[in-house]
């Protein structure tokens, strides 16, 4: 019956898309059933948004990193004059806003028609807000970054209901040397913004920005102001990374060995410093000697630079940011949704360090407990995100809470099916 309701004779009508969205967010239909009503790029984005636990009735949240830090370290800062000349100047009295994001979907600059800028503040479309697809749902800049391709989203196609009065066009901007996405340029306004002419204009601007950055590299000019603190990325399945700014303004990424990542995590959690003996015990309580630790520290200095490390005791000489620190900070502040959205997977899953293993278990358990508690209070957003993670997929208690609190038959049936599968594989409680 629900599928029949989706077979609208007018696939492009906003009313049909809105009806499909209501059925989708309540769990009555999944993405494949939307193909008669909703563009496939939008249906797939809605599916990713729902899987990420995005609440369609909440505004976008602020990022965990201060705005001045995001801007200072970003290479697109040097391209602002190009963007302003090609887009912002014409937007000042045209009822549209121009937004520039970083590669993670954080809004760095939002400029344009003053009245439009004030209006978009209602949905927190402001500098410092996280408009990635995983945080804000289907929207042009966030979805363009998720797909690494140009996207246009018409009003009713947004996953967030509060964004439906706007249409938007976004194109990613890539590093001229590596091809990696640096961010996106977005134009947001009325229905005419989702036109072929607008897409051509934003595409041309992105190309001009990439050419400008390439010219800056070629001439040796600085592509951005001073960089922010180093960032340590150690969550999830990707290789651990040490990320810093550079004179060119483009992030410099150093891939770390497992042992070096262990050391940096431990030093970041012990700002007072650690002796060689203590560090050896935290890394491997049986087989690691002090000589090996000193040799590893010598190699680590070559990777991240001697200015970042001190000895006697070993310690970091300046504050750093990290993804694991961001998740702990979000939990400490009570922002469970931000904590779960910032958690792609376990801390250094391959590490055998007993201290890292303890921290890994502590973080995972704290996230799970917080998500369960939020669900018991009536908000299942964080729990849905937790259950979508590999370590949460077999969480029977989580699926039980979701089943008991699900607002519709389809969601309850899915949760019950997951519980049955868990019981079959592992035995019932």
Q: Judge if 81 and 210 occupy the same domain.
A: yes
- Structural domain includes residue 191: yes
The mean per-residue pLDDT over the stretch 5-31 comes to: 72
pLDDT at 413: 85
Q: Would you say 188 and 160 are in contact if contact means Cβ atoms under 8 Å apart?
A: no
A 10 A CB-CB count for 219 gives: 7
pLDDT at 163: 94
* 428 band by pLDDT with thresholds 50, 70 and 90: low
pLDDT at 280: 93
Phi-psi region of 221 (alpha: psi -120 to 50; beta: other; left: phi over 0): beta
- pLDDT tens for 409-422 read 777 888 888 899 98
Q: Would you say 392 and 386 are in contact if contact means Cβ atoms under 8 Å apart?
A: yes
- pLDDT tens for 380-394 read 888 888 988 888 889
Domain of residue 320, residue span: 227-373
- pLDDT tens for 349-384 read 999 999 999 999 999 999 999 999 999 988 888 888
- Structural domain includes residue 345: yes
Q: Would you say 161 and 57 are in contact if contact means Cβ atoms under 8 Å apart?
A: yes
Q: Judge if 21 and 123 occupy the same domain.
A: no
* 283 band by pLDDT with thresholds 50, 70 and 90: very high
- Structural domain includes residue 389: no
Q: How far apart are CA 341 and CA 337, in angstroms?
A: 6
Which residues are CB-neighbours of 359 under 8 A, at least 6 positions away?
265, 269, 324, 347
A 10 A CB-CB count for 301 gives: 14
pLDDT at 157: 95
- Structural domain includes residue 385: no
Q: How far apart are CA 182 and CA 74, in angstroms?
A: 8
- pLDDT tens for 165-214 read 999 999 999 998 888 899 999 999 999 999 999 999 999 999 999 999 98
Q: Judge if 270 and 310 occupy the same domain.
A: yes
- Structural domain includes residue 276: yes
Q: How far apart are CA 384 and CA 399, in angstroms?
A: 9
- Give this prediction's pTM: 0.53
Q: Judge if 201 and 343 occupy the same domain.
A: no
Q: Judge if 18 and 85 occupy the same domain.
A: no
- Structural domain includes residue 279: yes
Which residues are CB-neighbours of 236 under 8 A, at least 6 positions away?
344, 345, 346
Between these two residues, 7 and 126, which has the higher pLDDT value?
Answer: 126
Is the confidence at residue 245, as pLDDT, over 70?
no
Q: Judge if 90 and 27 occupy the same domain.
A: no
Q: Judge if 82 and 210 occupy the same domain.
A: yes
pLDDT at 252: 74
Q: Judge if 273 and 369 occupy the same domain.
A: yes
pLDDT at 12: 53
Q: Judge if 327 and 289 occupy the same domain.
A: yes
- pLDDT tens for 101-153 read 999 999 999 998 888 988 999 899 999 999 999 999 999 999 999 999 999 99
Q: Judge if 97 and 197 occupy the same domain.
A: yes
Of 373, 388, 419, the last residue of a domain is 373
Number of separate domains in the chain: 3
Q: Judge if 72 and 206 occupy the same domain.
A: yes
The CATH number of the domain where 315 resides is what?
1.10.10.10
DSSP string, 210-221: HHHHHHHHHHT-
Q: Judge if 141 and 231 occupy the same domain.
A: no
Q: Is the peptide bond preceding residue 409 cis, with omega within 30 degrees of 0?
A: no
């Amino acid at each position: 019956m629900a599928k029949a309701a989706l077979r609208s004779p007018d696939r492009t009508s906003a009313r049909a898309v809105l009806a499909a969205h209501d059925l989708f967010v309540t769990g009555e239909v999944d993405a494949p059933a939307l193909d008669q009503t909703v563009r496939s790029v939008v249906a797939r984005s809605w599916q990713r948004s729902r899987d990420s636990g995005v609440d369609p009735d909440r505004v976008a949240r602020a990022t965990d990193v201060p705005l001045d830090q995001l801007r200072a370290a970003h290479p697109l800062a040097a391209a602002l004059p190009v963007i302003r000349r090609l887009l912002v100047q014409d937007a000042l009295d045209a009822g549209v806003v121009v937004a520039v994001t970083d590669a993670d979907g954080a809004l760095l600059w939002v400029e344009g028609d003053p009245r439009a800028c004030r209006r978009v503040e209602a949905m927190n479309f402001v500098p410092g807000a996280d408009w990635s697809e995983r945080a804000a749902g289907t929207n042009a800049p966030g979805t363009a970054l998720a797909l690494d391709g140009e996207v246009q989203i018409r009003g009713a196609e947004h996953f967030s209901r509060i964004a439906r009065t706007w249409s938007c066009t976004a194109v990613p901007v890539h590093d001229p040397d590596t091809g990696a996405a640096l961010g996106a340029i977005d134009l947001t306004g009325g229905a005419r913004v989702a036109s072929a002419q607008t897409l051509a204009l934003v595409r041309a601007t992105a190309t001009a920005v990439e050419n400008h950055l390439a010219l800056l590299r070629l001439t040796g000019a600085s592509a951005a102001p001073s960089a922010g603190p180093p960032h340590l990325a150690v969550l999830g399945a990707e290789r651990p990374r040490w990320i810093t700014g550079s004179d060119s303004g483009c992030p410099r990424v150093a891939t770390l060995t497992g042992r070096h990542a262990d050391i940096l995590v431990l030093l970041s959690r012990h700002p007072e410093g650690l002796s060689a003996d203590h560090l050896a015990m935290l890394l491997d309580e049986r087989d690691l000697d002090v000589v090996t630790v000193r040799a590893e520290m010598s190699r680590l200095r070559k990777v991240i630079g001697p200015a970042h490390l001190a000895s006697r005791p070993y310690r970091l000489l300046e504050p750093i940011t990290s993804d694991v620190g961001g998740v702990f900070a979000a939990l400490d502040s009570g922002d469970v949704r931000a904590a779960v959205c910032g958690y792609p997977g376990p801390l250094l899953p391959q590490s055998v360090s007993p201290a890292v293993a303890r921290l890994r278990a502590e973080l995972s358990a704290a996230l799970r407990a917080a998500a369960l508690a939020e669900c018991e209070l009536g908000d299942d957003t964080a729990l849905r995100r937790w259950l979508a993670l590999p370590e949460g997929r077999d969480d029977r208690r989580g699926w039980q809470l979701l089943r008991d609190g699900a607002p519709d038959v389809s969601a309850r049936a899915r949760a019950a099916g997951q519980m049955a599968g868990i019981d079959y594989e592992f035995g019932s409680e």
